Amino acid sequence: MQLFPHQQTALKETEQFNRVAYYLDMGLGKTFVGSEKAISFHLPIVVICQKSKVQDWIEHFRQNYNIGVFDLTNKKQLEEFSGTVGNFVGVINYDLVFRRSYFAHITGFTLVLDESSVIQNENTQRAKFILKMQPENVILLSGTPTAGKYEKLWSQLHLLGWSISKDLYYKQYVEMEWIEDHNSGFRIPHVVGYKNVDRLKMKLAQHGAIFMKSEEVFDLPEQVIIPIQSKATSEYRRFMRDAVITIDGREYIGDTILSKRTYARMMCSYLNRDRIAAFKDLVQSTEDRLIVFYNFNAELDAMQAALAEMERPVSIVNGETKDLTAYEDCGDSVTFVQYQAGAMGLNLQKANKIIYFSLTDRSELFEQSKKRIHRIGQQKTCFYYQMICPGTVEEAILETLEMRKDFTDELFKKYQEEINR
């Protein structure tokens, strides 16, 4: 397997460590870095990840390594895994691992935590369980290990082998103030800043932590397109065949070209659970400003629901609202822009990342949307994350847009004819 130079550098700089953290920005390939390091230990590997990523990790190892892979969310495969000898991989999600007593007792294995920031609150049940596990080697992977908040790093440091107590960690690196809570009347501690940050970064490096940002390691072209794929649903396929389907109690009837085309697009976006999960993972992977383009109001509702737990500042530009306060003031904001309302005329170059939650069918809106961040004043490489379901109408739309053409009713008819052959 041929790794990029920055991936080789990360492995070279940590080759003497058996507990490492690869905090690489999204798009830098931390999955490959982590799996290469894990394989090098020649011990059983346990990967813990978000539920939506279990199959991705399974496919990653099956496609790139000659090694046995087990889906540990399946009880039968867990039993097989526990009885297997040699170098092999098991994958399980965070919300299930602490419900499997087997993992409380095993030793002599390599632990990989994907998006390790999940355990930043050491008081949660899953974090307590993971912190008590007994791996021989540890690999932490995250694009945002602290979401910019160093006080949330302590549990990950513990897994890296830095045995500093939480009290001492706070005393040395976190600035605190006691502020009166207006509701209770009690004084509560509040983080107001950080100190000795250079020393903290040095200590992190001494315990196997590598930080990399996209703009620091890649000599990238001005505009980089990154496809984010999700599978088409069975509902989509049935709808394209029968032109009618009921989803979550609502009936969708494609009795005209326009209605069938519209509903087909919806079934690739907010009616596709994999799309929602991939979108959530993508937002979680970075603390940078994000611009998100979408078409339908229901898509906005679904995305906002998916991000409800993240507490990210939100701006919205659509036919009813234009509020860019969060975009202007907050470096970790998410700005939702409906194509018709904001693909033209907005200056959004404080951000350098766009997520296309769904594609427009109009070439002009698509081309203009790219220019919201790629304009005078932009100092960084621009990243465009195109969310798409291969083998669906979305793929046909993207191919048309890349030719600088609109995706029309006639082209949709042609698409239908091709899939029905």
Mean pLDDT of 349-362: 96
What is each CA distance from 420 to 158, 237, 241, 396, 412, in whole angstroms? 57, 11, 8, 15, 12
Of the candidate CATH numbers 3.20.20.70, 2.60.40.10, 3.40.50.300, 1.20.840.10, the domain formed by 223-419 belongs to 3.40.50.300
Distance CA(341)–CA(39), nearest Å, equals: 49
Lowest mean pLDDT among 33-47, 121-135, 217-231: 217-231
Mean pLDDT of 145-153: 76
Lowest mean pLDDT among 85-89, 103-107, 208-212: 85-89
Distance CA(142)–CA(286), nearest Å, equals: 9
Mean pLDDT of 322-340: 95
Torsion-angle region of 78 (φ positive above 0: left; ψ -120 to 50: alpha; else: beta): alpha
* Strands, sheet with 209-212, edge to edge from the N-terminal-most edge strand: 68-71, 88-93, 45-49, 110-114, 137-141, 19-24, 209-212
Q: CB atoms < 10 A from the CB of 331, how many?
A: 12
Residue type, 342: G
Burial of 250 (0-12, 13-18, 19+ CB in 10 A): exposed
Distance CA(292)–CA(283), nearest Å, equals: 10
DSSP for 161-200, written as a single string: T----HHHHHHHHEEEEEEE-TTT--EEEEEEEE--HHHH
What is each CA distance from 13 to 6, 58, 110, 114, 331, in whole angstroms? 11, 27, 19, 20, 30
Topology match between the domains 5-215 and 223-419: yes
pLDDT tens-digit readout, 109-139: 999 999 898 898 899 999 999 999 999 999 9
How confident is residue 183, by pLDDT bands cut at 50, 70 and 90? Answer: low
Name the H helices within 307-385. Answer: 325-329, 339-342, 363-370
More confident residue, 188 or 318: 318
pLDDT tens-digit readout, 192-202: 888 998 999 89
pLDDT of residue 19: 97
How confident is residue 247, by pLDDT bands cut at 50, 70 and 90? Answer: very high
Fold of the CATH domain 5-215: Rossmann fold (3.40.50)
What is the residue extent of each domain of the chain? 5-215, 223-419
pLDDT of residue 26: 65
Q: How many residues are present in the chain? A: 421
Locate the DSSP E strands across 265-413: 290-294, 314-317, 322-323, 334-338, 353-356, 382-388
Q: Helix 257-268 vs helix 234-242: angle between axes, to the nearest 10 degrees?
A: 170
